[in-house]
Amino acid sequence: MTSQLPRVRILLIEDDEDDYILTRDSLEQLPHWQVEVVWASNAGEGLNQLTHQHFDLCLLDYQLGAHTGIDVLRQINQSDSAPPVVMLTGQADSQVDEAALDAGATDYLLKAEVDSGRFIRSIRYALARRDMQREKLERLRAESENRAKDRFLAHLSHELRTPLTAMLGYTELLLSRAPAAQPQQELHAILRNGRHLLSLLNDVLDLSKIAADKLELNPSPMNLASMLSEVMALTHALALEKNLALNFDCPAPVPQMILVDATRFRQVLINLIGNGIKFTERGSVTLKIRYQPEHTSCPLQLSVQDTGIGIDSAHLDKIFQPFEQVEDAVRKSTQGTGLGLAICAELVQRMGGTLNVTSAIGQGSEFFVSLPIGDIPDNPLHVIDLTGERANWQRPAPLKLEGRVLVVDDMPDLRDMMQAQIRHFGVLADTAANGQQAVELAFAALDNGQPYDVILLDLHMPQMDGYQAIRALRQRVDDIPILALTAATLKGRAEQLHAMGFTDMLAKPMETNQLAGVLQHYLAPASARQSEGNWLLVEDDPDAAEATAAMLEMQGISVDVVHNAEDCKQRAKHHSYARIIVDLGLPDQDGLSLLEELRASDEQVDLVILSGRELSDELIAPLNISLVLQKPLFLEQIQQLSKF
């Protein structure tokens, strides 16, 4: 039936009306299409029609008064949306044929052939070319839109993560310093809601990556016990806030190692445990692990069981679909965005596993993750026992490291916040506002024989960005770890940055525990000399001692304080200090004679004089003094002292 045939609009540019009628009649009798013919009697009219209307095909006469079809064809093909063009001529001419094809014509036909089989084949070929052209344009348009979306997501990620980095970082610093009398509850509320905002941002970006097939997995051998301990430690505080028990159950041996993307594995478990805690008001949340080698494809079985509100059976089939929210039957409300479980399901599937759930209203839910363990030789089985680590979940030991780090970021808040976080671990940290400053500082440190141990380099900065800076740095700095700070973590990003010379990539915002993990990987732990108060301050005035110690601790330096020479000698006898700062005006002994005794007992310790008067070089030269500071001390002097 004619109504079922595909519709084709053809523009016929022909200045001879008789030829137009003959060609139109032939076109309308074509068996495979329902043809609509639009006639243009001259070149100008034809070009105007093509500009304002859509056509599937153009038939173009070679002779159009003062114009040739070749001239018109070139004008037609200046448009990306031009239809395919078949040139028509009254007589055969191989030169015209070749010129038409060179100018972009799909085919070249004699007018005498319009009722022949060759004419039908030419029309079919031209329309096929049209379809290919449309598909190409659609593909290019889609690729352009995807690139635009990627740029937007990268920009959005950067713009949102940058203030979150400062907000979370400074809140954690305040919590680590604030005494009990200060507003701990309010700070915890800021931190909790900031982390929630970050998790929402991560979910939206992950879902966008999944939709664009840009979510990247990097499997590598992972110690299962270490990862599970880390997950339990990270989620333990959430359970404590709701007075819930967080349990771990591993009754039988499991593999020591599995081949998996550790970051995404952690993300799945934290999400499932976090959901369990969110929807449980009393009782417990339990992480279980089993090894079932008879399940050859996915022998590792993990599950998260809670005693919470449960999920209605009608919703179980849709629970892993995006934007499906869990309904709280008690409060008659929904919670969350419905993205977390959908992302977990996609991640587990990409790891080669499965994610399932069983639940009953009022009795709780249990989510089951089945995963392959990968091919890892010499992979023994053992029972994972985390009982002894529970104390660390509640009160982790303070981390103390040593080394020098350069933080490079154009945002002052982020720069200062990361510097404060790093100094909190006892590490010396300098900052630069752009790549040029970073290169100058790094090369100066290298020339002084005190190179940085780690450089944290933001990618997007004025004057010289991170991409330019890494090229300059790697000309002289081969072995120093340089880590890229970026808010965009799209597929293939890590490989691109590694090829440029970066050692690793860190996603913004980075919480204190994540930064600690990075620093632990690249820096050495504090030596025994620094383990018990790495500096000793000898100052008889209590107020001056307290102020000086506070400023030093702001720089991440652990300080012991004594108020007289005798206490100083006792401390130095039983503890190793990297640096001792001595006020010369002590009540029980002259400061210079105390310094002589300290130097005689330890040739390596740095000795610093704190004095309210000027001292001659002849007086202090025999003592091998590292530095002389004049009172009163200001924060700028303390900062310089911490870098000395």
Residue tagged 């819930």 (tokens): 244
504, two tokens: 């690793």
What tens digit of pLDDT does each residue of 529-576 get? 344 447 999 988 776 787 788 778 877 788 888 889 988 988 888 777
pLDDT at 531: 40
Q: Do domains 2-115 and 401-521 have the same CATH topology?
A: yes
Residue of higher predicted confidence among 504 and 241:
504
pLDDT at 331: 41
C-alpha distances in Å from residue 85, one per residue of 96, 129, 132 = 15, 10, 14
Residue of higher predicted confidence among 148 and 244:
244
Radius of gyration of the chain (CA): 37
Query: How confident is the model over 586-605, as a mean pLDDT?
Result: 87
Residue 605 has pLDDT above 90, yes or no: no
pLDDT at 421: 84
pLDDT at 329: 40
Query: How confident is the model over 17-39, as a mean pLDDT?
Result: 84
What tens digit of pLDDT does each residue of 332-384 get? 344 555 678 888 999 999 999 999 999 999 899 999 999 999 988 888 999 99
pLDDT at 144: 79
Residue 218 has pLDDT above 80, yes or no: yes
Residues 6+ apart with CB under 8 A from 478: none
Residue 281 has pLDDT above 60, yes or no: yes
pLDDT at 18: 85
Tell me if residue 35 falls in helix, strand or coil: strand
Q: What is the dihedral of CA 100, 103, 104, 107, to 10 degrees?
A: 0
Per-position DSSP letters for 299-345, written without gaps between them: -EEEEEEE-S----HHHHTTTTSTT-PEEETTTTEEES-S-HHHHHH
Cα–Cα distance measured from residue 616 to residue 619, given in angstroms and rounded to the nearest whole number: 5
Query: How confident is the model over 63-79, as a mean pLDDT?
Result: 83
324 residue type, one letter: E
Query: How confident is the model over 633-638, as a mean pLDDT?
Result: 65
Residue 30 has pLDDT above 90, yes or no: no
The CATH number of domain 220-394, selected from 3.40.50.11540, 3.40.50.1220, 2.40.30.10, 3.30.565.10: 3.30.565.10
- The domain over range 2-115 is classified in CATH as 3.40.50.2000: no
Tally of CA atoms within 13 A in the half-sphere of 497 that contains its CB:
24
Q: Which of 471, 445, 53 has the alpha carbon at shortest distance from 39?
A: 53
What tens digit of pLDDT does each residue of 163-210 get? 676 677 677 767 766 555 556 667 777 777 777 777 777 777 777 777
Query: How confident is the model over 459-481, as a mean pLDDT?
Result: 91
What tens digit of pLDDT does each residue of 252-268 get? 999 999 999 988 899 89
Enumerate the β-bridge partners of residue 560: 536
Q: Domain-by-domain residue ranges, the chain?
A: 2-115, 220-394, 401-521, 528-643
Enumerate the β-bridge partners of residue 284: 245
Q: How many CB atoms lie within 10 A of CB 377?
A: 5
Query: How confident is the model over 468-496, as a mean pLDDT?
Result: 84
Residue 75 has pLDDT above 90, yes or no: no
pLDDT tier for residue 102 given thresholds of 50, 70 and 90: confident
Angle made by CA atoms 357, 361, 367, in degrees to the nearest 5:
15
pLDDT at 551: 76
Query: How confident is the model over 395-407, as a mean pLDDT?
Result: 75
334, two tokens: 């929904």
pLDDT tier for residue 407 given thresholds of 50, 70 and 90: very high
Query: How confident is the model over 213-225, as a mean pLDDT?
Result: 85
Contact 484, 497 (CB under 8 A): yes
Kindly tell me the burial class for residue 410, based on how many C-beta atoms sit within 10 Å of its own C-beta (0-12, 13-18, 19 or more): middle
Q: Print the SS3 string covering 550-605.
A: HHHHHCCCCEEEECCHHHHHHHHHHCCCCEEEEECECCCCEHHHHHHHHHHHCCCC
150, two tokens: 């990627």
Query: How confident is the model over 445-458, as a mean pLDDT?
Result: 92
Query: How confident is the model over 389-404, as a mean pLDDT?
Result: 65
pLDDT at 171: 75
pLDDT at 563: 87
What is the second-level CATH architecture of the domain 401-521? 3-Layer(aba) Sandwich (3.40)
pLDDT tier for residue 488 given thresholds of 50, 70 and 90: low
Residue tagged 């604030």 (tokens): 178
pLDDT at 613: 64
Mean pLDDT of the chain: 82
Contact 629, 607 (CB under 8 A): no
Quote the pTM value. Answer: 0.49
Residue tagged 């002084």 (tokens): 448
pLDDT at 517: 79
pLDDT at 538: 92
Cα–Cα distance measured from residue 327 to residue 579, given in angstroms and rounded to the nearest whole number: 60
Tell me if residue 467 falls in helix, strand or coil: helix
CATH code of 528-643, in short, is 3.40.50.2300
The share of the chain scoring above pLDDT 70, in percent, equals 86
Residue 162 has pLDDT above 70, yes or no: no
pLDDT at 333: 40
Cα–Cα distance measured from residue 300 to residue 354, given in angstroms and rounded to the nearest whole number: 11
Contact 276, 291 (CB under 8 A): no
Query: How confident is the model over 111-125, as a mean pLDDT?
Result: 80
Tell me if residue 142 falls in helix, strand or coil: helix
Enumerate the β-bridge partners of residue 630: 611
Residues 6+ apart with CB under 8 A from 177: none
Cα–Cα distance measured from residue 115 to residue 28, given in angstroms and rounded to the nearest whole number: 11
Kindly tell me the burial class for residue 135, based on how many C-beta atoms sit within 10 Å of its own C-beta (0-12, 13-18, 19 or more): exposed
